[in-house]
Structure 1
Amino acid sequence: MQLITYINDLLYRYECVIIPGFGAFLTRQKSAYIDSNTNKFHPPSKIVSFNRQLQANDGLLANYVASVDKCSYETALQKIRNFTAEVSRDLLEGKEVSFKNIGEFSLNEEKSIQFEPVEHQNFSTSSFGLSTFVSEEINREIYKEESKSEKEIEPKVLNTERKPSKPYLKYAAIAVIALSAVGLGSMKIYESQVQQFNYAERQKANSLIENQIQEATFVISNPLPVLSLNLPKHTGNYHIVAGAYRLEENADKKMDELREKGYSPFKMQASKYGLHQVLYASFESRSEASKKLYQIQANENADAWMLVQEIK
């Protein structure tokens, strides 16, 4: 039956697939496990079960049938009704109905539907390609015995025979020790003399430096020229206003911001309304001011405007 293939496809994607008027297939996740009796490793899986109570149509199966068979929704529902009617008739006649790769249906003595899922089928897409395998039991006792045998090492026989001593070696050793002691004592005396000499020379150098400092006169023969800064002044009656602020500290922040951008801003005195206006620049002619205003509005401040006023 083609409808069983559609149900099989949906079980890989969804946890609940309802066959309207018949029941619902439910899936649940099962973690990987090891069968201790057979030493068989089973991968993670998604197991399917059946619930007879869920029969209300949720539209999932009908929409899928309609999209695959390219038919209307009502036609898809009619196909599902015909399918469930055929399955129910076979069950009432005492037949076992097999859903390929899903499970088998049958009726018990109380005429209740029984479902037996297929054991080898795994609906988990994350475990695709993983299969069960058997691993032979590891004999750890054999490994321990081998380890012990590997550690067995034949004992070494020490040669206790004493070789004849050579008396001239003793005198040579005594001579070396004596020469070392004399050299060490001479080195200590030399280091002491060097330290005393260095200390005396350091004292002479410090005295000489102190005398030179006391006799020195600080005269600047070539003074640096006076640095004069010509700050641009806001002249003219046409001014580009960056903003007007009731709090003077906000106006000062705006001034710092404009300085960082390379402007030479100017803060006007508070107006009669108590606003502190901050200027980008001032110009003698309206054309120059308009050109600068359009440039500022286009690039950084669309709210800038022109003020025509004489600044005293």
Structure 2
Amino acid sequence: MQLETYIADLLYRYDCVILPELGAFLTKRVSAQIHETTHSFYPPKKLVSFNEQLQHNDGLLASYISEVEKIPYDVAVEKIAKKVKTIKSYLTQGETIALHHIGDLKLNVEGHIGFEPSHHVNYLTDAFGLSQFTTNAVSREIHKKNVAIIEERAPIAIIPERRKNRPYLKYAALALLALTVGGLGGSQLYLNHIDTQNQLAQEAANQQLDAKVQQATFVIENPLPAATLQVEKQGGNYHIVAGAFRVEANSDKKVKQLRAKGFKARKIGVNRYGLHEVVYSSYSDRIEALNALRDIKKSHNRDAWLLVKTLD
């Protein structure tokens, strides 16, 4: 069984893939980056890490293997357990476990599992098709030097135009100046008159508006008491799945049964297989969701599993 292939498939869709009794592979979105020295541009990606503390089976990996290989869920769990046992045996012998396109696992000096991620695959689907590229640095000083050189070779000179002495032009200029000043004075008087008329019209309109508002004012003697409604809306991207049903009526029935037992059950839509999914509840915090899943598997449904999905 190519376990790393199944883990890699799930890393495209989920932020946490647990390998029971070994640890969890976590992903975190990293923004696009520019290397200042090499002038290389790197697209946004999912950075893969490993957490040895998360070892409890959440059912995600086993359910996916069961679906792909068309085998029972319990058989998939047993196959994962055998693979993990083999990995631990190699690690205790000092060997490095290379998971293709995921990274390398190796015990450190303290006896804990260290992880070195692979940089050959980008698990961020939003960045599909984007790759690293390198470009030359842009130097703007070159353009400044070129402009300076051009100005030295072709200076711009302003030569005043020589005019003959024409005394009659002086009197024409004085007449034009007098007409301009007179026109500006008349224009200013006209504009002042318009401003005065606009102000009077505005005051009259305000008085009419105040009169209409006073006529329309009324008082409610016995107002109804204000009603306050508290609506609880579930949110978060971590959902504990109770089941998926081909017939929608069955999913509605399942929601009623779970709510009767105190769960905040609801339907979250139809998955890509055309099944109506029902969840026990949804959480914003991943650790809180995993703790709730652990309690549900112990006390209510051992086949429940965690779905990481952003709902519309």
- TM-score, normalised with respect to structure 2: 0.50
- TM-score, normalised with respect to structure 1: 0.50
Q: Which has the higher contact order (CA 8 A, sep 6+)?
A: 2
